[in-house]
Chain A
Amino acid sequence: MEFDLFKIARYPFMEEAKKWVKNEKIEIHEVLNDPIYERARMRAVERVKQAMKYGIIKDTPLLNEIDCMMEIFSYPLARLIVASVESEYLIRRYALAEAKKAYENLKKEDSSFIQKIAMEFGMEVKDGVIHFSDYLKYAPTWDMKWKLINRVMEKGYVKLSNEEIARLIQEAIRSKIQNELFYMFAPPEINKIFGELIANLKNKLVAKEIKRAEGISEKDYPPCIKNLILAIKSGMNVPHVGRFTLVTFLNAIGASTEDILKIFSNSPDFNEEKTRYQIEHITGKISGTVYAVPKCATIRTWGLCYPDELCKRVNHPLFYYRLRRRKNELSKEKVL
């Protein structure tokens, strides 16, 4: 079988990549230990670091077959590192970063190659059209322009440009890598070889969480907000208005997109990309409009209000939070 190493290196998740590695008869411990593969290991570290830092992995120049080989080996190594960190957050972020990298390259490819990759993910693309059932599985329909109704569809087939098909493939790659990593178990050897990076990442992820906790006082949240968080954390399906209330509230008290995402990551149908988009929409990072926190009366009509004593004195969840906070801070000073 003839392999196109340059293609495989750009798209290391391809079936062909697996076949090539098998064909080369190189054992994983060789790639992990032999100094000759040092470059592959370094690139693996880079992949993970870039995913964490930028949310996308940058391409590396591929000038010859050795470059390609190192690039191809770096991919499974990077996955093993991510699996070793055992962080859902990192898995999601890494899967998205790999998928985005693939998209950046894919959209420049010709139709026949795009068609081939689409096939690998079970999507049948022919002459720039795709069946709506495949389309719906991968299209980011939370975005208005991707809604099926805003597409041209004839007899079940949706018309798409190459770039748009590449975008669907991006989502297919993301979900594939993410699912694989959730069930992947890395051998302990990985921890020895990449120990420093893994420890570092774990620290960073913990630090992120600590930073999150500071400055925001969860115990001072009004009961409606506490209830919403509880419901989401326990995996219940919270209605749209509930999610909206929660996001506007958390944003108003200074939580970052990451903080808010963290809460939603417990949701059963969590989709990081989609949730991030929605949060950034509500908090004005995309739309430019910062949505206001709904007032108590509105929350009541939505059936999300579970008032306590203090609620009687306020008509807005933010007042409740400020009152509570001030009260608690004053009492703290007294004790000191």
Chain B
Amino acid sequence: MNYLKKKFYEYYLKAEIEPPRRIERREFAFLFFNEDMMKRHISFKNKDWLLRYLKANVPAHVYYSSAYYGEPSANTMKEKKWMGADLIFDLDADHLPMAKKMTYEESLESVKEELKKLVSFLIDDFGFNEKDLSIYFSGGRGYHCHVHDKRVLDLGSQERREIVDYVTGRGIDYNHIVVERSIYGYGITRTIEISPSSLGWRGRIARAIISFLEEIKNMERDDAIEKLMGFEGIGKKVASDIYDGLDDNRMALIKEGKIDQMASIKRLLKPLMKELAVKLHSSTDEPVTADIKRLIRLPGSLHGKTGFRVTKVGIDALEDFNPLEDAIVFGDEMVSIKVIKPFKVKLKGEEFILKEGVTKVPEYVAVFAIARKFANIF
């Protein structure tokens, strides 16, 4: 038995695994060490059978279906008989444009920021109960958010797509978000009013504009102009106009929601809105979350390419959660490995910089390095 499989076996012998709800209605799928083919269409009557299977077969990756089926072990979709599915959001560093330049640790941190935005949408706008949301570190490069509310179970793909569009800001129509009003008195002027206490996207945008302009107002002129010019479509002239126009009077009106005190402020709308949206997908439009029959990693199982555990994170504990510590299940007994590809990683708060050749590292580093194919056991 190879080292990784042996370690996974030791883990599964004692693992506490919280089975997915309605386990008997789920399809399970597995990938094994040194095998390319995924084994699919497996179902378990209960948690005990699942645990027995994990111990007997020690898979490298464990997945289960977000969908519930009449016959989860049937071979075709038609025979499976779809009954409903959880709503699952997959936030992955691969979807973030800037993540390529970051370290593993930093990219996980920026995915966490996206996750916080998502949770705020799900609770404040969609009204989901905290107890119906479960968040897991994926063991790889991101987080999964599962929604179990009974009202999403039977939503079809098109309906799920709408939820995704809502949180990602896709298809937003500024004319519906911003209300224009004619003010009579000194002739007719048009003004955009969105109250910061408005609900949904409207309020979010209003609050974002207000806090952004406050930040700008408190900055030195040069810094403020530089920051403003960072936005697409804003040049030096417009940036100066915005900064110079922000006197106390105007700021007070803006805080009431009368945001277009200057025409140029409108140009901030789109870019600020983009910051509010959850970055859920890469540029290509993969309908992952909208998919009503996808496979998702089993919480409590190990990720075969990192050795990390798919770990539950409480919504309140999100801030303090450190995946590169809290998802580590292996010990610190020293092990000899032969590094074949130099790498750097920060695990359990300790930085490991490993060069080619034989070295001794704690077991949890060895598992990570071997799973990443950076090293072999020596």
Q: Interface residues, chain A, CB within 8 Å of chain B?
A: 131-133, 136-137, 141, 144-145, 147-157, 269
- Tell me whether A136 and B124 are in contact in the complex, defined as CB-CB below 8 angstroms, given that A149-B170, A154-B200 are known contacts: no
- Minimum Cβ distance to chain A for residue B173 (Å): 5
List residues of chain A with CB within 8 A of the CB of B199: 152-154
List residues of chain B with CB within 8 A of the CB of A132: 126, 163
- Minimum Cβ distance to chain A for residue B281 (Å): 15
The residue of chain B having its C-beta at the shortest distance from the C-beta of A239 within the complex is B285
Q: Interface residues, chain B, CB within 8 Å of chain A?
A: 124-128, 151-152, 155, 158-159, 162-163, 165-166, 169-173, 176-177, 198-202
List residues of chain A with CB within 8 A of the CB of B176: 145, 150-151
The residue of chain B having its C-beta at the shortest distance from the C-beta of A146 within the complex is B162
**B170 and A141 contact, CB distance less than 8 A:** no
**B127 and A141 contact, CB distance less than 8 A:** no
- Minimum Cβ distance to chain B for residue A17 (Å): 27
A37 to B173, CA, bound (A): 52
**B155 and A141 contact, CB distance less than 8 A:** no
A144 to B171, CA, bound (A): 7
- Tell me whether A150 and B155 are in contact in the complex, defined as CB-CB below 8 angstroms, given that A155-B124, A156-B126, A156-B127 are known contacts: no
List residues of chain A with CB within 8 A of the CB of B171: 144, 147, 149-150
- Tell me whether A131 and B151 are in contact in the complex, defined as CB-CB below 8 angstroms, given that A149-B172, A153-B200, A156-B128 are known contacts: yes
List residues of chain A with CB within 8 A of the CB of B172: 149-150
**B173 and A150 contact, CB distance less than 8 A:** yes
Q: Most chain-B Cβ atoms within 10 A of its Cβ — which of A145, A155, A156?
A: A156
A241 to B198, CA, bound (A): 37
The contact of B173 among A137, A147, A154, A269, by CB within 8 Å, is: A147
The residue of chain A having its C-beta at the shortest distance from the C-beta of B152 within the complex is A133
A144 to B176, CA, bound (A): 10
Q: Most chain-B Cβ atoms within 10 A of its Cβ — which of A136, A147, A149?
A: A149
**B155 and A152 contact, CB distance less than 8 A:** no
Could you list 27 A-B pairs, sorted by A, with CB under 8 Å? A132-B126, A132-B163, A133-B159, A136-B155, A136-B162, A137-B159, A141-B162, A144-B171, A144-B173, A145-B173, A147-B173, A149-B166, A149-B170, A149-B172, A150-B176, A150-B177, A152-B198, A152-B199, A153-B199, A153-B200, A154-B124, A155-B124, A155-B126, A156-B125, A156-B127, A157-B127, A269-B158
List residues of chain B with CB within 8 A of the CB of A147: 162, 165, 171, 173
A149 to B176, CA, bound (A): 9
List residues of chain A with CB within 8 A of the CB of B151: 131, 133
Q: Most chain-A Cβ atoms within 10 A of its Cβ — which of B128, B152, B159, B173?
A: B159
A152 to B199, CA, bound (A): 6
- Tell me whether A152 and B200 are in contact in the complex, defined as CB-CB below 8 angstroms, given that A144-B173, A145-B176 are known contacts: yes
The contact of A149 among B128, B155, B158, B201, by CB within 8 Å, is: B201
**A148 and B162 contact, CB distance less than 8 A:** yes
Pair count A-B, CB < 8 A: 66
A131 to B151, CA, bound (A): 9
The contact of B125 among A137, A150, A153, by CB within 8 Å, is: A153
Given A137-B159, A145-B176, A153-B126, 5 more A-B residue pairs with CB atoms under 8 Å apart are A149-B165, A150-B173, A154-B124, A154-B127, A269-B158
- Minimum Cβ distance to chain B for residue A104 (Å): 25
List residues of chain B with CB within 8 A of the CB of A131: 151
A109 to B342, CA, bound (A): 73
**A141 and B173 contact, CB distance less than 8 A:** no
The residue of chain B having its C-beta at the shortest distance from the C-beta of A142 within the complex is B158
- Minimum Cβ distance to chain A for residue B284 (Å): 12
List residues of chain B with CB within 8 A of the CB of A269: 158
The residue of chain A having its C-beta at the shortest distance from the C-beta of B169 within the complex is A149
- Minimum Cβ distance to chain A for residue B300 (Å): 29
The residue of chain B having its C-beta at the shortest distance from the C-beta of A149 within the complex is B166
List residues of chain A with CB within 8 A of the CB of B177: 150
List residues of chain B with CB within 8 A of the CB of A154: 124-125, 127, 199-200
List residues of chain A with CB within 8 A of the CB of B158: 136, 141, 269
A131 to B150, CA, bound (A): 13
The contact of A148 among B128, B152, B166, B202, by CB within 8 Å, is: B166
List residues of chain B with CB within 8 A of the CB of A137: 155, 159
List residues of chain A with CB within 8 A of the CB of B169: 149
List residues of chain B with CB within 8 A of the CB of A152: 198-200, 202
List residues of chain A with CB within 8 A of the CB of B128: 156
**B155 and A155 contact, CB distance less than 8 A:** no
List residues of chain A with CB within 8 A of the CB of B155: 133, 136-137
- Tell me whether A148 and B163 are in contact in the complex, defined as CB-CB below 8 angstroms, given that A154-B125, A156-B127 are known contacts: yes
List residues of chain A with CB within 8 A of the CB of B166: 148-149
A136 to B166, CA, bound (A): 12
**A136 and B159 contact, CB distance less than 8 A:** yes
A136 to B275, CA, bound (A): 26
- Minimum Cβ distance to chain B for residue A167 (Å): 16
- Minimum Cβ distance to chain A for residue B293 (Å): 13
A137 to B128, CA, bound (A): 18
**A151 and B159 contact, CB distance less than 8 A:** no
- Minimum Cβ distance to chain B for residue A64 (Å): 44
List residues of chain B with CB within 8 A of the CB of A155: 124-127
The residue of chain B having its C-beta at the shortest distance from the C-beta of A133 within the complex is B151
The residue of chain A having its C-beta at the shortest distance from the C-beta of B168 within the complex is A149
The residue of chain A having its C-beta at the shortest distance from the C-beta of B199 within the complex is A154
A154 to B170, CA, bound (A): 19
List residues of chain A with CB within 8 A of the CB of B159: 133, 136-137
The residue of chain B having its C-beta at the shortest distance from the C-beta of A237 within the complex is B157
A149 to B202, CA, bound (A): 10
The residue of chain A having its C-beta at the shortest distance from the C-beta of B165 within the complex is A149
List residues of chain B with CB within 8 A of the CB of A136: 155, 158-159, 162-163
**A148 and B165 contact, CB distance less than 8 A:** yes
Q: Most chain-A Cβ atoms within 10 A of its Cβ — which of B128, B152, B198, B199?
A: B199
List residues of chain A with CB within 8 A of the CB of B173: 144-145, 147, 150
The residue of chain B having its C-beta at the shortest distance from the C-beta of A137 within the complex is B159
- Minimum Cβ distance to chain B for residue A287 (Å): 15
A1 to B324, CA, bound (A): 68
Q: Most chain-A Cβ atoms within 10 A of its Cβ — which of B155, B165, B173, B200?
A: B200
A132 to B158, CA, bound (A): 13
The residue of chain A having its C-beta at the shortest distance from the C-beta of B123 within the complex is A155
A157 to B173, CA, bound (A): 20
List residues of chain A with CB within 8 A of the CB of B198: 152
- Minimum Cβ distance to chain A for residue B207 (Å): 15
A145 to B170, CA, bound (A): 13
